[in-house]
Structure 1
Amino acid sequence: MNIIKVDIDKSWISKPRGSVEYKAGLNKFLDFAFANASSDGMIHCPCPLCGFRLFQNREDAYDHLLLKPFPAKYTFWLHHGERRVGDSSTETQEVDPGSVYRDPLRDMVREAFNFPGSVVDEDDSGNKDVEGDAEELPYLYSEPSQAARHFDELLEDGEQELYPGCAKFSKLAFLVRLYHIKCMCGVSDKAFGMILELLCESFEHAKIPASLHDAKRIIRKLGIAYKKIDACPNDCMLYHGSDQELSRCKICGTSRWKQKSRRNSVVRINVVVKKNEKPQAAKVLRYFPLVPRLQRMFMSSKTSVDMLWHKKGPNSDGFLRHPRDGEAWKAFDRRYTHFSGDPRSVRLALASDGFNPFGNLSSRYSIWPVILIPYNLPPWSCMRPSSFLLSMIIPGPKMPGNDIDVYLQPLIDELKQLWGGVDTYDASEKKTFKLHAALLWTISDFPGLGNLSGWNTYGGRACPTCNLDAESKRLTFSQKWCFMGHRRFLNQSHRFRQDRVTINRPLRVDDRPSEDATNNATSMFPLIGKAVGASESLNLSPTERLQAHRHVLVNCAGVENFLEDFRASRKRQLRSIGKRNEAYIDRVVHREFAEWFKNEIPLGSTMHPRELQWLACGPNIQAKRFKAYNVNGFKFRTLSREDGMRTQNSGVCVTSDTRRT
């Protein structure tokens, strides 16, 4: 075997990374690699950080190899297009670097069928020999002859040029690319078939399938087909397994086949709809088998390493960035040690929701896809659409509701099979192992939680976390459930945890004080409640001013010390005349304290605060009056305001020590 010699000096590898020789050699290496081994504009990055496992574009690969050293022993660029070719002569032959082309589709076919081929061991980052590249791999199929036949046909299609002289597309690569465009752009089968016919007529020498049927027959050999399972139109059962030959539902008795009424008949007669002399099912479930799709993830050299990230990926700071960092994942591993003992065991999540495939908001048609998400992959790839596994498509026209478990039966059967283990080939370790899988989570909205788990999400015990501990209440008029008692979720030291009155009492009216009502006296008289409506000005009479002044002084916390001093002095004065009962002392205080307080704290005094000086002067002559006031969650109105109203709430009780004169 001879080596393809490339006219590139590789002595730059040992040069300093900042030198001109190193940068020039690195650019030549990238030119060669992207010309011979690029996939979607990306190559395997040989830097120590990526280790030939991660793909990078040209700019990122250049930056990586400037920051990190180029592998010193990687002088034979096996991963980037340099190949050994058979030759009877002992001399080496010089080949143009641009002529070496490696079709990635051929590698995909070989890995998908688990057949020997030119699959490169990506863990080899050095300059190893390639004598073992064609190592025999075990067969995992029950019918190896049929698999071998499909494999040979696909290889033949993959090696055929699309037309004589075409080096960029093979027959299989062009068809897969064209079919991918059909799926991504929503091209109908009829339109796609017409496009194929036009291409065949226009390019007679090109090897293009003549019809959609021929195209599907080739693509189906890749093993990405789905199963059609007939279902009862009323979502009662699947015609699957032992019930596959039934023609009527064994639960509701509805016919399995699509029916229509015969025209021009006196009596309405339903006849079975047929296509190509075969009866058409009224409802069909499209099911995508899970086992072969999980096997493909390990049989591919590009994804088998990523499936071990959850075990080998670092997590030094302890933050929750992936489900593997959560307690549910760790508790499951501790409970089922036979499952967690192998890091290749797959953890899955199931997501489902309905949507209208026709894009018409007035249509009530609802179709439900069921998607599986493998959480073994790293977080930057497990949530990509390309990593999702479409498990089934539940047809409409109405949502399955609680009968979704009928359609999940094939998936549950496969999950039971995977729990016991399925023989699978690991391309990264080149050996067969028992593949296990388990469904750990479901992802859905709250009504979907009731459909997938069977939990009642409509009553007073709808919360699956609180369950019987939920404090629910049925609203009388709206007929809806509300949930109370959220104080228990606060910390023990939180100031609202023991506040049973404020938290649980519904706020009937807004009694928060207005922001513009604050003034300099708010420290002495905290604002309580809020006035409602427009104010009305009035002039206070001398009696009203005195009554208001007395009431404020007696009920003000800042005047309590002055009030006690005045009461004690009057008790000593009244001791001589024998009038020391509390009723008489209260009348004296009520009659004389306002004038005494005004003389005790004169206006302009430097020994007392300005608020007390203003308080001693008494109220202004002009005052504001409101017809309603909100306080303590209730609204109080004046008698004139309530005149003619059905609700009456004008009674206000004020606790005070003042008495009438």
Structure 2
Amino acid sequence: MKRIERSWMYKRTIGQSINPDFVKGVDESIQYVTDHPESSNPDEVRCPCVKCKNKRLWNADTVKIHLYGKGFVPNYYEWMCQGEGYPGVPERRSNEYRDMVLDAFGHSQDQGHSEEASVSSEEEPNATAKHFLDLLKASERCVDGFASLLSEAIPNNNHMADTFYEVKKIVKGLELSHQKIHACPKGCMLFWKDDAQLSECRVCGSDRYKQTSKGSLVPLNVLFYFPITPRLQRLFSTKNILEEMTWHSKNPRVQGTMAHPSDSAAWKHLDCRFPEFASEPRNVRLGLCTDGFAPHEELKLLWEVGATTYDISKKQNFNLRAAILWTVSDFPAYGMLSGWATAGKKACPHCMEKTKAFWLEHGGKVSWFDCHRQFLPTDHPFRNSKTTFCKSKVEKGVPPHIMSGEELWECVKDLPKATDGPDSIKRLKNEKKGWFKKSTLWELSYWKHLLIRHNLDVMHIEKNFFDQLIHTVMDVKKHTCDTPSARNDIAKYCKRPQLHLEKNDRGKEIIPKAPFALDKAQRNVLCEWVKQLRFPDGYASNLSRCVDFQAYKLYGMKSHDCHVFMERMLPTALRELLPGHIWNAIIEISQFFRDLCCYTTSVSDMERLEKNIPEILCKLEKIFPPTFFKSMEHFLIHLPYEGKLCGPEAYRKRVEEASTQRTQKSLNELYWETVGGRNKKGRVKGLGGSADLYYGSQMGRISTFSLQYTPSLVSQMQDQVKTRVQALRQEMER
């Protein structure tokens, strides 16, 4: 409609003279703009001529001259830069968003300069930038207009803000604080407190700043620190969250079950060791999820001094204290937090120096093959086998002793800290004692009294185990553990002559097919099956995008996808594709992860898993080559022990991998997943409406004996899979 009404805009001349309709239209447009001023100076008008392109402000007469001489910018039927299409608002102050837009355009309000000044260097924003700037301007005008409308609609003595800028000033106090702390480029120290004035690192001598071309100093490394104390205080200022902060003290649970960290031995041990801390139910036990940085100074204050906090429900102040119950991190960060080297033969933080890992001669890596028979009962037949594990070897050993906090403190109390300099840390690493530093967390007075300090991340281990297993079973090049060097290691360490390398007629070494590897037809069937999988919304991602039919492999699966596939899909997928004894072993490890990840468990359940997992791993050792058993595969032996001390695994996973039920979580939910809060139904927050599907809660808690896994889809799929495999084999034989 406006294109027709304003057709005069592009009919500037008639012959050699200006079109009277054009002059009339320009006068009306200028009048509209002056009635709706944009700038604090009512005499300024944004010029829509071809040369200025709405980028410069001039007085009304100058704008008319520009339009008479040059005309309007093309296709400018909607005068959006002059405020048309948005609700009118009274004259208002400039705000930071408008200033940002004008700064981005390089706008100058100096009317004394000629119109050529700086215009030639300005350009129209690209389509993406223009769309963003238009939305920015539209949102600001809408908020201002709505605020102005409300101000006019309510009584005159109201305190309603008139603009978005004033609203921002009012709510600014609601934001949580953060600090910018300069750090050494090599991570040796922070330029903080007594070191805030230093210009060089007192550990390695690195410069704190770099000098720009203009001579200013810019820090080389900046840490953004979000203090935890105000965030804890904010939780007690919100009524609905405050109820969950004391959920553990008000909601009784079934005796003998663990549905919350407060049911665990680690929580109860801390309460018994420090009864004064336990007497206040509002004191917080933290599950620290970090990639290596630990705010130990603030944590020391929260334990020793506390922080005055207001309880919104009781309308009273109290002294809030907090303690770290345990940390949760992936394995590299585990080493940074604990100070124990997580690489090499001593990578296991439970076995430590008593590990039986060894270096593979041909594989060129550390292997934990045949390290699990020592965890079996002394009368177990696997211990006396000389053929199915390392050849001619009988296992008479006992499981390594897991050191207590006091014993660990005696080991680390004299070790150097990271702040003592890289030379001392390097010297300690070269000694290869396992420890490479003393963690700053040992400065917390209660740290050595905890039953467990660091948790192995189950989701991280499960993903690594699944990737190793599925790549080996599908014989994926460069990812499988079944390589020529692995076969040479089998010949050296095991008695499996059917898996030794063979030579063909031309003398070239060939790899005999392993019973645990699928052939091409079977891999194709598995890929087609995964391609056709469909899940309820929020249960898992679209796995069809993870199928590569050219390489016959699965790729790009996230932690939660591996979690679902490992515990729910894997038994169905491999039932008709692998020999029975191999499939049974994989079923048992799948069931192990399912039991381990139940959100309600018990000490007896964890003891059952602790008893079963050595035998399960030994069964896998009888099937797969020594290269299969890396540190991640070995850590399964210790997960039930940690579950027995800490309770459900759902409270001991990293936040970024906790769930994919929704694409985004609120800050409160992310925090609760770290601290260990629960909703009114006692479920883990952030799992969404599909928690029943995710954990199979309709089945109840798993019983105390091993169950034979019977996939619900087998009855529908096994005939199709079997027929398809036979058809493809016949086709390949032709």
Which TM-score band (shorter chain)? 0.3 to 0.5
Structure with the higher fraction of residues in helix conformation: 2
TM-score (norm. length: structure 1): 0.36
Structure with the higher fraction of residues in strand conformation: 1
TM-score (norm. length: structure 2): 0.33
